[in-house]
Copies of this chain bind each other. A is one copy, B any other.
Amino acid sequence: MPKLRVHNFTISLDGYAAGLGQTLERPFGAVPDPGLHEWMFATRFGREMMGEDGGGEGLDNDYAVAGDVGIGATIMGRNMFGPIRGAWDDDDWKGWWGDEPPYHHPVFVLTHHPRAPIAMQGGTTFRFVDGGIESALAQAFDAAGGEDVRIGGGAATIQQYLRAGLIDDLHLVISPLLIGAGVRLFDHTDGVPDGYTCVELVCSPAVVHAHLARIDS
């Protein structure tokens, strides 16, 4: 059975996935600099994603790479696509991910506002789903053609899928910094997300990797 997976989702030591006040210039809101994702930009995988050479190998890079393996489609919340709220008045906005987004497969964006698909360079197509998380998941599994589906984020999207008990693998990264206020990953989960156990817990010099898996998966 194909799985629903979350990878490399990074939170601060105080549990925040993003600071307050997302804007066009600050996709992660008010966070310290260097920020939550510095560990990723320091890996070879992260550098390649930005079209750059260099970057480290080792544990962090291994986890970064693993997040792409066997993934045939991605789901993301609307705030991970862009800072626009409400209706799509600006059709020129094609996401935060550049002309050639680092997905190379169908990406389903959760929204309450229908919009025509956008085909980007390199094989990524953004598809806008206004039918809820289960509809998005069914479409994503269909598009993935037998491969797994990944939830890119953000926190609110992961929370919705956790509440529905739909996530099989949840790989978290803890960056040891304090943000103080923002969007917590573990919030609004209606108690303990059911049936997860920690199957890997390791540190690089930079971050903690914690991999939760469903006990039955």
Chain A residues in the interface with B (C-beta under 8 A): 13-15, 32, 172, 174, 176-181, 184-186, 189-193, 196, 198, 201-203, 205-208, 210, 212
Contact = CB atoms under 8 A, between A and B. Distances in A.
When A and B form their complex, which 9 residue pairs have the shortest distance between CB atoms, in order from nearest? A180-B192, A14-B186, A176-B198, A180-B191, A203-B203, A15-B15, A178-B192, A176-B201, A208-B208
29 contacts: A13-B172, A13-B186, A13-B198, A13-B210, A13-B212, A14-B15, A14-B186, A14-B189, A15-B15, A32-B192, A174-B174, A174-B208, A176-B201, A176-B210, A176-B212, A177-B198, A178-B196, A178-B212, A179-B192, A180-B189, A180-B192, A181-B191, A201-B203, A201-B205, A201-B206, A201-B207, A201-B208, A203-B203, A203-B208
A208 B207 CA distance: 10
